[in-house]
């Protein structure tokens, strides 16, 4: 049964990473200024580097473009998702400990 919880946690993390990747790809394609070849370069980086490319875009471009007074809805959603993933992984680990030991 521990294998099931491991796969459930792994699938949750993979789904979260995939959603973040799609979000950054759409964000880049729709909101990146089209100066020179910057938009196409960022899209290619995100597509070929997958989650790592999305993280690079998020920290290098998207965070730098946000104004200091901008609302934190996206960050709140990110931290909420991160908190849910951590709590799911902890509850799965506790459940496996109670059944195995």
User: Which structural domain range is residue 49 located in?
Assistant: 1-66
> 3-state DSSP call for residue 81?
helix
92 located within any domain:
no
Whether the pLDDT of residue 89 is over 90: the answer is: no
- Which tokens go with 1? 């049964």
pLDDT digit string, tens, across residues 60-84: 876 666 645 444 555 555 666 666 6
3 located within any domain:
yes
**How buried is 39 (Cβ within 10 angstroms: 0-12 exposed, 13-18 middle, 19+ buried)?**
middle
77 located within any domain:
no
82 located within any domain:
no
45 located within any domain:
yes
Whether the pLDDT of residue 8 is over 80: the answer is: yes
Counting the structural domains of the chain, the total is: 1
73 located within any domain:
no
Q: How far is CA 81 from CA 32, 43, 44, 71, 97, in A?
A: 25, 24, 26, 18, 24
Whole-prediction pTM: 0.59
Average pLDDT over residues 50-56: 88
**How buried is 93 (Cβ within 10 angstroms: 0-12 exposed, 13-18 middle, 19+ buried)?**
middle
């Amino acid at each position: 049964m521990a294998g099931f919880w491991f796969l459930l946690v792994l699938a949750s993390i993979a789904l979260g990473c995939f959603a973040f990747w799609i979000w950054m790809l759409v964000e880049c394609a729709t909101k990146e200024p089209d100066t020179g070849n910057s938009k196409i370069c960022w899209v290619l980086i995100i597509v070929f580097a997958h989650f790592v490319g999305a993280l690079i875009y998020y920290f290098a471009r998207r965070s730098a473009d946000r104004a200091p007074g901008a609302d934190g809805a996206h960050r709140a959603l990110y931290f909420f998702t991160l908190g849910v993933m951590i709590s799911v992984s902890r509850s799965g680990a506790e459940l496996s400990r109670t059944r195995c030991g």
